[in-house]
Structure 1
Amino acid sequence: MNATEIQTQRKIEAVIFDWAGTIADYGSFAPTQVLIDAFAGFDVPVTLAEARVPMGMAKWKHIQTLGKLPAVAARWVEKYGREMTDADVDAVYAKFMPLQIAKVAEYSYPIAGALEVLGTLRSRGIRIGSCTGYPREVMDALIPHARALGLAPDCVIAADDLQAGARPGPWMALANVIELGIGRVAACVKVDDTGVGMQEGRNAGMWCIGLAVSGNEVGLTRAEWDALEPAEQHRLRAAAEQRLFAAGAHYVVDSVADILPLIDLIEARLAVGERP
């Protein structure tokens, strides 16, 4: 192995980001609020906390899982006299989709530090991948909005792009590896704000960085987070970190703005032969 090949073995080749709560939409409100609205269209109330439980899944699966939560399932039975069926999931999904397409851009502004981090990664020759729980129709609405704001990954894989499926399976993350022409999966980092996103990255054989504060685990706007007392911030951060580590994260930080030192640390680990 020559010197160039040795140096390549020490470098991160790609960082694969989630979207909502990770690089855009601080607090991850676009998917959750629209799910609440979709269920309300069937006269079944869903709380924000309940809508967040399956976050990161493909949206049809998210709706199905949400409908099986005991409290939500009980409300559905109270309203319709039976448990939620797959046909009901289809109906809620049909209500959800136009709402999500219409509203996704309202929430999806870059999280502070995201543009700077992506620019720094690119300056180091690191490719920028992405995948999401959103279906392709939603991403087709979101991508032009995001690009106009400077948020433009090299690859975008949507939840319904692949026949194999979505999270927590490895397929969307690995589709990024293929599309970007990455030579080593162990030289890839998955960054996500959800537990299923961490599982996805680990199942794909990647390093995983969880984001505890900016996304679904805390689920607050930036203003709401900043208004909290330090002790409450500490409590919420610690609980989010625990959940993300339990799901497989190698590292957990507050937001995407904090990941660059971890990229350096992972490269140092690669340099001594460590793997995810």
Structure 2
Amino acid sequence: MQSASGPGRPLQAVIFDWAGTLVDFGSLAPTQIFVDAFHSFGIELSLQQARGPMGLSKWQHIRLLLEDPSLAAQWRQRTGHAPTQADIDAIYAHFMPMQIAKVGQYSQPIAGAAQVLAWLRGQGLKIGSCSGYPRQVLDVLLPMAAAEGIRPDHVVAGDELPAGGRPGPYMALANMLALQIDDVAGCIKVDDTVPGIEEGLRAGMWSVGVSLSGNEVGLTRAQLQALPTEEAAHRKEEAEQRLRAAGAHYVIDSVADLPQIVAHVRSRLAMGERP
């Protein structure tokens, strides 16, 4: 690891998102459960709609979905009134046990994730993580991921900070405090969603977007490989554009491509650059 002496400061930590970044290629666990939960209330929600607010805490995600005019209209038709906070609470209460029961089905690590975490530790870097998942869901996911070599030094859940979650900087900064990092510019935030990129930027960190494995493409590896080459390239390009438009300093296909970004950020820090 680079010395803190000289014109620049060292890279100290990498903070990861979970679904679509470290595990669950395509980020299917959250989206499919949203579809199933809304369907249980008689509301037709598409996977594409479910992906819209991805990266937020799950309660806030449901709130934003119910603000969608088409979904709000369905709710009024079913209930006779506009969606209320009590309705959000009811869907969330139904969503939670479904998510807890199903998250294990989507817990497989993304190819290269465990190897990259080991490489980062070998580089002397600390590893943080945060998620839109509530703690109850992470309590199920974390042991499964650990058995596959995915063991961050710290984990922050989307429901455990009074200040809230994304797109605010709070979960990223909570990692920084827990890991005893003394400069936000010495951190890289890696995420597959627009709110996750904004989180890193607001925290003053280098933000790296993940395109192919994450929410912005939103396909399993098998579905992606089954696409015609041109369509797959088009979806990747669109995902990259959305992440760059959100302010990502870099965009990679998957976490497996991160080492080259680490080297690049270290060079920029050594020259005195900041995010």
TM-score (ref. length: structure 2) = 0.97
Displacement, 1:211? 0.5
SS in 1 for 2:5: helix
For the 8 Å contact 1:129–1:154, the answer to whether it is kept is: yes
Task: Give the whole-Å Cα distance in 2 for the aligned partners of 1:49 and 1:71.
Answer: 13
Task: Give the whole-Å Cα distance in 1 for the aligned partners of 2:111 and 2:171.
Answer: 25
Q: Which amino acid aligns with 1:145?
A: M
Q: Write the mapping of 1:35-114 to structure 2, written as runs, cut at 5 A.
A: 35-114=34-113
For the 8 Å contact 1:10–1:268, the answer to whether it is kept is: no
Q: Write the mapping of 1:217-232 to structure 2, written as runs, cut at 5 A.
A: 217-232=216-231
Gaps of 5+ in 1: none
Q: Which amino acid aligns with 1:26?
A: F
What are the Cα deviations for residues 83-107 of structure 1, in whole angstroms up to 9, with x where unaligned? Answer: 1111000000000000011111110
Displacement, 1:215? 0.7
SS in 1 for 2:4: helix
Displacement, 1:233? 1.4
Runs of 4+ more than 3 Å apart: 7-10
Which residue in the other structure is 1:275 paired with?
274
Task: Give the whole-Å Cα distance in 2 for the aligned partners of 1:7 and 1:177.
Answer: 23
SS in 2 for 1:6: coil
Which residue in the other structure is 1:180 paired with?
179
Displacement, 1:272? 0.5
Q: Write the mapping of 1:227-266 to structure 2, written as runs, cut at 5 A.
A: 227-266=226-265
What are the Cα deviations for residues 62-86 of structure 1, in whole angstroms up to 9, with x where unaligned? Answer: 0010111122112111211221111
Gaps of 5+ in 2: none
User: Is it true that 1:15 corresponds to 2:18 in the alignment?
Assistant: no
Q: Which amino acid aligns with 2:150?
A: L
Q: Which amino acid aligns with 2:23?
A: A
For the 8 Å contact 1:213–1:255, the answer to whether it is kept is: yes
Over the aligned positions, Cα root-mean-square deviation in angstroms equals 1.3
What are the Cα deviations for residues 132-186 of structure 1, in whole angstroms up to 9, with x where unaligned? Answer: 0001111111111111111110000001111111000000000000000111110
Which residue in the other structure is 2:122 paired with?
123
Task: Give the whole-Å Cα distance in 1 for the aligned partners of 2:227 and 2:10.
Answer: 39
Task: Give the whole-Å Cα distance in 2 for the aligned partners of 1:7 and 1:141.
Answer: 44
SS in 2 for 1:197: helix
Displacement, 1:7? 6.6
For the 8 Å contact 2:13–2:126, the answer to whether it is kept is: yes
TM-score (ref. length: structure 1) = 0.97
Q: Write the mapping of 1:194-209 to structure 2, written as runs, cut at 5 A.
A: 194-209=193-208
SS in 2 for 1:209: strand
Give identity over the alignment, percent: 55
Displacement, 1:5? 3.1
